[in-house]
Amino acid sequence: MKFRFIAALAVLFFASEVTSAQTHAHEFGFQSDNDSFLAQGSDRYYTNGLFIFYRQALNTNNSAKLANKVLGIEVGQKMFNPISGYVPNASFVDRPFAAYLYVGANLNLLYKNESNLKLTAQTGMIGPAALGKQVQNIIHNTFGFYTLNGWQYQIRNNFQLNLSAEYNRLLARASWIDVSAAAYGNLGTGFNGAGLGPLVRIGDFNQLFNSVSTQSISTRNATTPLHTRELFLYYKPQFNYIAYDATVEGGLFQDSQPGGPEIRSKPNRTMLSQQVGLAYGGKRWVIDLAAVFHTRDVKTQSFNNHQWGSATLLYRFN
C-alpha cells in the first residue's frame, strides 16, 4: 500500500511537469528545517522550523523596469534549545530555550536588470505563547525521542513586530555558472542586523526575475527563460552582523527578572553562515534541499558551530 501511494505521487509529479506548459500565477507550499535531517545525532540550538507559504504574481502594468512582482503570505515557527532538549538544571542552558511564532506578508519586486528587492513585515510572539514546548513534545512523542526538560527556563512572552529587506543582484554569468550579490537587513522589536555575501549557482538556472532563487512566479514570460526547467546546485556563504536577537536576549523593552526562571544570553555580534543546496524549478513543482552551517551565534554555546537540513516543496497553479 505504501509503495502504491509513493508511486501514485511520482506519476502525478511527472505528469504535471510534462503536460503543463503555461506559466502560473499562484504558488503554495511549505519548508521544514531540522537538525536531524543531516543525521548528525544532535538536537541543539536551532532545532526545528516549519513554514507555510502562499504567493501570487501581480500585474506589472507593462513597467519599463519591473519584470515580475509577487505578493507573499507566510506563517512560521522557529524553535531553539540548548545543547539538548533535556537539561538536568539551569547550568546546562548554554543557549536559551525560545520559540518564535509569526505571520507575515512580503512584496517581491523583480527587475529586468536582474536585481530584486523583497520587503517583509512579520508580527507574532516569542515565549510560551509561541508554543515551542508543545510542538517539540509532539515531535519527540511521535518519533519516540527522549523526554524533554528545560522549557521552564525559556524566554518570556513578548509581542513581535519585525521588518526586513532582501536585495539580490547579478554580478557575472557564464552558460553554466553565475554569481550574484545577496544582502539583507532586519529592523524590529525582535531582530536587528544585516548580512552580505555571494550566491553561486551551477547548472541550469534562469534569470533572477524568473527563478526559484528569488521566489519568482509570473502570469507571463515577457522574456524567454534561459531554461524550460531549473536544476542547479548553489552555494551561499554570508557574513552576518547581529545587533539584537530576541530569542537569545529576550524582549527588547522587557527587563530580565533577577532570580526568575527565564534564562537569557548574549549573541555573538558577528556570525558566518554557509548554505549548500540543490534546487529544482519545474512547470508546477519547486523542490529545494539544503544544508546550512552556522558558526557560534551565542557566546555561551558549548559548540563552536551548528547545522541543520532544510527541505522546501512548493506547487504552482493558475
**Each residue's pLDDT expressed in tens, for the chain with a length of 318 residues:** 444 544 554 545 555 565 444 578 999 999 999 999 998 888 899 999 999 999 999 999 888 999 999 999 999 999 999 999 999 999 999 999 999 999 999 999 999 999 999 999 999 999 999 999 999 999 999 988 899 999 999 999 999 999 999 999 999 999 999 999 999 999 999 999 999 999 999 999 999 999 999 999 987 766 789 999 999 999 999 999 999 999 999 998 887 665 568 999 999 999 999 999 999 999 999 999 999 999 998 988 999 889 999 999 999 998
Q: How far is it between the farthest Cα atoms of the chain?
A: 64
Residue 146 in any domain: the answer is: yes
Residue 199 is assigned to a structural domain of this protein: yes
Q: Residue 246: exposed, middle, or buried by beta-carbon count in 10 A (0-12, 13-18, 19+)? A: buried
- Domain membership of residue 11 (yes or no) is no
Cβ atoms 31, 72 nearer than 8 A:
no
Residue showing cell 500565477: 25
Q: How far apart are CA 271 and CA 266, in angstroms?
A: 13
Residue 125 lies inside a defined structural domain of this protein: yes
| C-alpha cell of residue 286 | 519547486
* Among 236, 234, 230, residue whose Cα is nearest residue 286: 230
253-283 in b/e form (b: 16+ CB < 10 A) is: ebeeeeeeebbbbebbeebbbbbebebbbbb
* Any domain includes 9: no
Q: All 3 cell numbers of residue 211?
A: 527563478
Residue 14 lies in a domain: no
Residue 66 in domain: yes
- Per the structure, the count of domains in the chain is 1
Whether 124 is covered by a domain: the verdict is yes
Name the DSSP class of 96: -
Q: What is the domain-level CATH number for residue 132?
A: 2.40.128.140
- Domain range holding 290? 23-317
Question: Structure pTM?
Answer: 0.91
Angle at alpha carbon of residue 66, lines to 64 and 67, rounded to 5°: 110
Quick one: which H or E segment has residue 138?
A: helix 132-143
